[in-house]
């Protein structure tokens, strides 16, 4: 399947994407994770992206589209993929459509995760991520690690993302409403959108997502 995951920051896109990708046997492609990997390796791309991300703004399209395209062209993505965080505005959605058209393939679904603002703010405030593997995500109250500051899966150090400060989160939410939400209408016009609630336990949300996708 070829799926786009959309939803406000902190809705649980990364958490759900890891699980869905495993169940559906497709790679999880997160542009946020790709940027963070470049930042920690101090590549030119990482140096460029860092200031935009820390301010809560989108990284410019020229850079983002090229990076996403390179990743989608890797052999493991031939049979399908789950895009998390891309496209993030209408121009990126147009670029993705062009790319898919060139390859003669189509998206199967756009999964829209809905969560109220006060909940996403709480989720982001308590999030802790593993330095060794960004798929290892915890929450200080909702899914605490057994030992404070230490990843249960690999023993890596848990840290708080630089863009998870209160002021940056406010900016990220504003960017989501003004720039990203319009892609939902863009895809609705193509009959691709399935909306589910991202509230409740993680497993319940995964179940809801799989059920919604089974109709696609």
Binding site for ligand AP5 (CB under 6 A): 7, 9-15, 31-32, 35, 52-53, 56-59, 64, 85-86, 88, 92, 123-124, 126-127, 137-139, 142-143, 163, 172, 201-202, 205
Binding site partner of 94, from Zn ion, ligand AP5, none, Cβ cut-off 5-8 A by kind: none
Q: Read off φ and ψ for residue 174, nearest 5 degrees.
A: -65, -45
Q: Sign of dihedral through CA atoms 69, 57, 132, 118?
A: negative
Question: Does 15 carry a binding-site annotation?
Answer: yes
Catalytic position from the list 88, 123, 128, 208: 88
Distance of CA 57 to the CA centre of its chain: 15
Judged by CB under 5 A, the residue of 136, 139, 172, 208 near Zn ion is 136
Binding site partner of 133, from Zn ion, ligand AP5, none, Cβ cut-off 5-8 A by kind: Zn ion
Active site residue 50: no
Beta strands in 38-118 (DSSP E): 81-84, 109-114
Structure tokens at 161: 């993302």
Distances (CA, A) of 193 to 58, 108, 112, 128, 213: 23, 9, 7, 30, 10
Active site residue 13: yes
Q: Mark the binding-site residues for AMP, compressed into ranges.
A: 31, 36, 57-59, 85-88, 92, 161, 172
Catalytic residues: 13, 88, 127, 161, 172
């Amino acid at each position: 399947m070829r799926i786009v995951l959309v939803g406000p920051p902190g809705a649980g896109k990364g958490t759900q994407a890891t699980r869905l990708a495993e169940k559906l046997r497709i790679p999880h492609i997160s542009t946020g994770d790709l940027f963070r990997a470049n930042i920690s390796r101090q590549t030119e791309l990482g140096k460029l992206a860092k200031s935009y991300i820390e301010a809560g703004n989108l990284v410019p399209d020229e850079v983002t589209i090229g990076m996403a395209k390179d990743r989608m062209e890797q052999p493991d993505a031939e049979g399908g993929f789950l895009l998390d965080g891309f496209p993030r505005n209408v121009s990126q959605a147009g670029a993705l459509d062009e790319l898919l058209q060139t390859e003669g393939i189509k998206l199967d679904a756009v999964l829209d995760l809905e969560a109220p603002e006060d909940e996403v703010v709480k989720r982001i405030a308590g999030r802790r991520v593993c330095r060794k593997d960004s798929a290892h995500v915890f929450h200080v109250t909702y899914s605490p690690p057994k030992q404070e500051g230490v990843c249960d899966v690999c023993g890596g150090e848990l840290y708080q993302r630089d863009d998870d400060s209160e002021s940056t989160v406010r900016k990220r939410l504003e960017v989501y409403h003004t720039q990203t939400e319009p892609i939902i209408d863009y895809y609705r016009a193509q009959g691709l959108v399935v909306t589910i609630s991202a509230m409740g336990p993680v497993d319940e949300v995964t179940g809801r997502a799989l059920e919604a996708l089974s109709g696609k």
